[in-house]
Structure 1
Amino acid sequence: MRATLSVAIATLLSVAVLGGSVDAAQRETRIPDQAIATAAQLRETALASDLAYRITESLTTEVGPRLAGSEADARAVAWAVAKFKELGFDKVWTEPVTFPKWERRSESARVVGANAQPLHLTALGGSPAGTVEAEVVRFADLAALEAAAPGSLTGKIAFIDYRMERARDGAGYGPGSRVRSRGPSAAIRAGASAFLMRSAGTDSHRNPHTGITRFDEGLTPIPSAALSVPDADQLTRLLSRGPTKVRVSLDCGWDGTYTSQNVIGEIRGSRKPNEVVVIGGHLDSWDLGTGAIDDGAGVGLTMAAGKLIGQLKQRPARTIRVVAFANEEQGLHGGKAYAAKYAGEVAKHQLAAESDFGAGRIYAYSSSAPDYAKTADAQIAQALAPLGIEYAPGEGGPGPDIGPIAQKGAAWARLAQDGTDYFDLHHTPDDTFDKIDPQALAQNVAAYAVFAYLAASAEGDFGSRPSATPTKTE
């Protein structure tokens, strides 16, 4: 397979060199041979390093869960500043990110009546507090609930029993997350007093999956929660036997605003220090686990990649900027703040990539590179190939916190991680450090270090230009 991949990349390289016009060739982006050779050495150094593993262990052990706006959020920011400095980054600073503060205090549920028993659930982020005891009405999917007649669920609890499908690229999460984000509003329109859903996850453990929800404007929010997968199955079996009443009690809700920080560290470039390659992950996590795969690993591996590039004898031409984004989980607040601050410097962003899909091995690379940068893009892919990474031009999109600056015109890259098991752990109490495979994490570091170094060393750019009509970020 690797031989076939090498032939494909070689073909792309030759087409890029020979197939364009004279003007295109004159502005063609390429990576110097010396940088390619250095990247090969960097790749092997990264594979042998446990730095990212140690950084991730430090964050998840010393800070633990990092719910945006919590006391641990502030400790995480202080940790990140100190860690960047400890790693020898040339410049370290913070930038404020303000957002509404949501708190979880307690939560419980139980079946009442003849089949009385507890149910394991967790409040969805953004849910209000409240206690509701009512009969449950089951819906197979979101469409079925959205089709319910207004008032048909008055005095009832709506329950969507949609089962998320497992996929390497996480494709099943789209439908599952839409249940979480749109289900509560559909329930309110039908008159329901509370909303329950089967967790958006692929495990079979009694660990419910949390995540943010939203309520459409003009609707009065209702208590909204996710059942663990086995408890959703249990409730479905009970409902098949006849009417079932459940008592849901949530103590949670919004409590003013909070200002956290994006934490940024830079390894300065040797010739074009004002142009940057951005890599990073998000510093916050949900509060149920310790935020290891989501997204302690992303922070750890990009910090490590920056450090390894920084210790090279010959720095790349451009600056490597590593960003630990604030409050991704509740609305991409850190990514939006970054995009707003640097909207006037989009063209200085050579290329940007974010790690926010766990700690599984990277299996594919793609980017938004325009035709004149396809040669350099293929060179990056060729340097990544020994790590088992396929070149997949035209596929994917930017990571979540990179999305807002990409919408303003910044070029992006995708280093696709294997997420087959990601949604077994995502947003659950099981998202803990012991789930990380050190060898897989080292492969991620090698990929990000090679990618960032080569992008920063390229002669020419990857197409970052201010968008003529920026798209509003949702």
Structure 2
Amino acid sequence: MKNGLHILLITCLSGSLLACQQTPPNSKNLQVSSQLQQDALSSTLAYDLVESLTVEVGPRLAGSDKDLVAVQWAEDKLNQLGFDKVYKEPVKVPVWDRGNAEAIVVAPYPQGLVITALGGSVATPTEGITAPIVRFDTLAALKASPAGSLEGKIAFIDHKTERHTTGKGYGKTVGGRSRGAVEAASRGALAIVIRSIGTDHDRMAHTGAMRYQDDVPRIPAAALSSPDANQLNLMLKRDDNVVLQIKMSPQSHGYATSYNVIAEITGSSKPDEIVLIGAHLDSWDEGTGALDDGAGVGIVTAAGKLIQDLPQKPARTIRVVLYAAEELGLIGGKAYAKAHQDELAKHYIAAESDFGAGRIYQIDYRVATQAFEAVLAMSAPMASNGVAMGTNTASGGPDVSMLPKQGVPVASLRQDGQDYFDYHHTPNDTLDKIDPAALQQNVAAYAQFAYLMAQSEIELRPLATK
């Protein structure tokens, strides 16, 4: 408790006088926050949950049989952990099967390449597609190419993903994965391959969702491993007529029902007001989904459990949401926003853990301008867990990113993502990539955040404009 008060006093002295006037030190909240941090840093629950999910369920692509196994796993775990309320809400999701994918350079230097289908891609003809490749540095370069210029060709987007702690390099390249097929097809391409959207040097390809457009032909879309993208570049330096053959057999099978799985800790005095902490339950089918997003599932569930077990519940209800089908286009997040439209005005704040298991170094908010300094002062105890106070520009995370448009305040607990895109959407997304101590630090941060927000008396609306 003394540490928490000391941090808050430093915050006041450093210039947040208004914050301290609006949010006087509350010794009980500081004491509970400190205890939650200590308990989280000594608990193995989050790691145990990720281990259970990745071993007993494994890959859990939305719409697959394993997806429903994961839903049942989540229901059972949340009930076993003793949350006040556990329930699920149906979500309609597309069903897609990856099938097989192979690529061979036919000429001038025959050899195989490592590829994987992008999520949602159509198949090639049984005999495959054989055609010269046309290389583009970026999606923008592809979009600048003339109509008809790719007739009878395979487009190749060769955009490297930069490594950043914040992961911002991903945002610069991911458009090639999601929109490249439409742009290539609109110029006559037979297929598209992209350099994997990742920062690793391993010979494995990164999958991820792509999308089509109704008025543009659907062409097969695949990702190349980074070493194989490099290999194509070296070939093109020697001969600008590189002929590639790709064979892919993915299939779509309509739609199925998945579920958002939800647990609640009922608020003691404001039970109708909600602090939401979430993660997504689904994963891609290449790895076991340990980092993306088994870690998030473990983090928010363990944080909720720590608060559930407190002698006295916080004022507001804390809702743990394990979203369906994030990987296929934030489907569970959009379904939640629609299903809970009538109570979004009662959502006090929301945050999602979906960036692996790196340590949280900063917390950003998106709240009312006049409330921001007060919120920082209230969050000051998180500094003893290595979390710095950040900006008022948060998005909250993928599945809650649509909530600010509905007026819901959000927070982003920023994780160190320096190596996240080495493993993201690959067969290498496995349990051994998680540092248990870093996972515990995340749990402490989410537990403190959720508890302090559930106790807050600060008016967070209307949101600041970006």
| TM-score category (smaller protein) | over 0.9
Deviation at 1:396, TM superposition (A): 3.3
Matched, 1:216 2:210: no
- Give the counterpart letter for 2:270 in structure 1: K
After superposition, the Cα gap between the structure-2 partners of 1:273 and 1:204, relative to the gap in structure 1 and judged at 3 Å, is: same
Q: Once the two structures are superposed, what CA deviation does each residue of 1:85-127 show, in whole Å capped at 9, x if it has no partner?
A: 1111110000000022222111111111352211101111121
CA contact (8 A) 1:294 1:356 kept: yes
Deviation at 1:405, TM superposition (A): 2.4
Deviation at 1:335, TM superposition (A): 0.3
Q: What does residue 402 of structure 1 align with?
A: 400
Q: What does residue 422 of structure 2 align with?
A: 424
Matched, 1:305 2:303: yes
Q: What does residue 316 of structure 2 align with?
A: 318
Matched, 1:62 2:60: no
After superposition, the Cα gap between the structure-2 partners of 1:232 and 1:42, relative to the gap in structure 1 and judged at 3 Å, is: same
After superposition, the Cα gap between the structure-2 partners of 1:369 and 1:83, relative to the gap in structure 1 and judged at 3 Å, is: same
- Deviates most, 142-151 or 155-164: 142-151
CA contact (8 A) 1:63 1:72 kept: yes
Matched-pair identity in %: 50
Matched, 1:240 2:237: yes
Cα distance in 1 for partners of 2:50, 2:460 equals 31
SS at match of 2:398: coil
Give the 5 Å matches for 1:86-235: 86-130=80-124, 131-235=128-232
Cα distance in 2 for partners of 1:10, 1:297 equals 37
CA contact (8 A) 2:160 2:197 kept: yes
Q: TM-score, normalised by structure 1?
A: 0.92
Deviation at 1:9, TM superposition (A): 5.8
Q: What does residue 278 of structure 1 align with?
A: 276
Cα distance in 1 for partners of 2:224, 2:291 equals 21
SS at match of 1:137: strand
Cα distance in 2 for partners of 1:230, 1:417 equals 28
Match of 1:44 among 13, 38, 41: 38
Cα distance in 2 for partners of 1:278, 1:60 equals 24
Unaligned runs of 5+ residues in structure 1 are 19-27, 468-474
Q: What does residue 327 of structure 2 align with?
A: 329
Q: What does residue 23 of structure 1 align with?
A: none
Q: CA RMSD in A?
A: 2.0
CA contact (8 A) 1:376 1:458 kept: no
SS at match of 1:127: coil
Q: What does residue 288 of structure 1 align with?
A: 286
CA contact (8 A) 1:276 1:351 kept: yes
Q: Once the two structures are superposed, what CA deviation does each residue of 1:372-403 show, in whole Å capped at 9, x if it has no partner?
A: 43354123431110111111122432211011
CA contact (8 A) 1:343 1:405 kept: no
Q: Once the two structures are superposed, what CA deviation does each residue of 1:193-238 show, in whole Å capped at 9, x if it has no partner?
A: 0101101100000111111111233001100001010010011111
- Deviates most, 157-166 or 374-383: 374-383
Q: Once the two structures are superposed, what CA deviation does each residue of 1:383-429 show, in whole Å capped at 9, x if it has no partner?
A: 11011111112243221101122321111111000111010000011
Matched, 1:76 2:70: yes
Deviation at 1:461, TM superposition (A): 3.7
Cα distance in 1 for partners of 2:428, 2:255 equals 29
Deviation at 1:29, TM superposition (A): 6.2
SS at match of 2:206: coil
Deviation at 1:275, TM superposition (A): 1.2
- Give the counterpart letter for 1:348 in structure 2: K
Cα distance in 1 for partners of 2:60, 2:169 equals 26
Deviation at 1:366, TM superposition (A): 1.5
Cα distance in 2 for partners of 1:288, 1:45 equals 34
CA contact (8 A) 2:291 2:355 kept: yes
SS at match of 1:202: coil
Q: What does residue 453 of structure 1 align with?
A: 451
Q: What does residue 348 of structure 2 align with?
A: 350
Q: What does residue 267 of structure 2 align with?
A: 269
CA contact (8 A) 1:100 1:257 kept: yes
- Give the counterpart letter for 1:39 in structure 2: S
CA contact (8 A) 1:31 1:458 kept: no
CA contact (8 A) 1:281 1:355 kept: yes
Q: What does residue 439 of structure 1 align with?
A: 437
CA contact (8 A) 2:281 2:297 kept: yes
| Count of matched residue pairs | 456
Cα distance in 2 for partners of 1:238, 1:8 equals 58
- Give the counterpart letter for 2:349 in structure 1: L
After superposition, the Cα gap between the structure-2 partners of 1:361 and 1:344, relative to the gap in structure 1 and judged at 3 Å, is: same
Q: What does residue 254 of structure 1 align with?
A: 252
CA contact (8 A) 2:178 2:209 kept: yes
Cα distance in 1 for partners of 2:175, 2:94 equals 22
CA contact (8 A) 1:29 1:372 kept: no
Match of 1:359 among 357, 360, 363: 357
Cα distance in 2 for partners of 1:91, 1:31 equals 32
SS at match of 2:231: helix
Cα distance in 2 for partners of 1:323, 1:121 equals 34
SS at match of 2:166: coil
- Give the counterpart letter for 1:81 in structure 2: E
Unaligned runs of 5+ residues in structure 2 are none
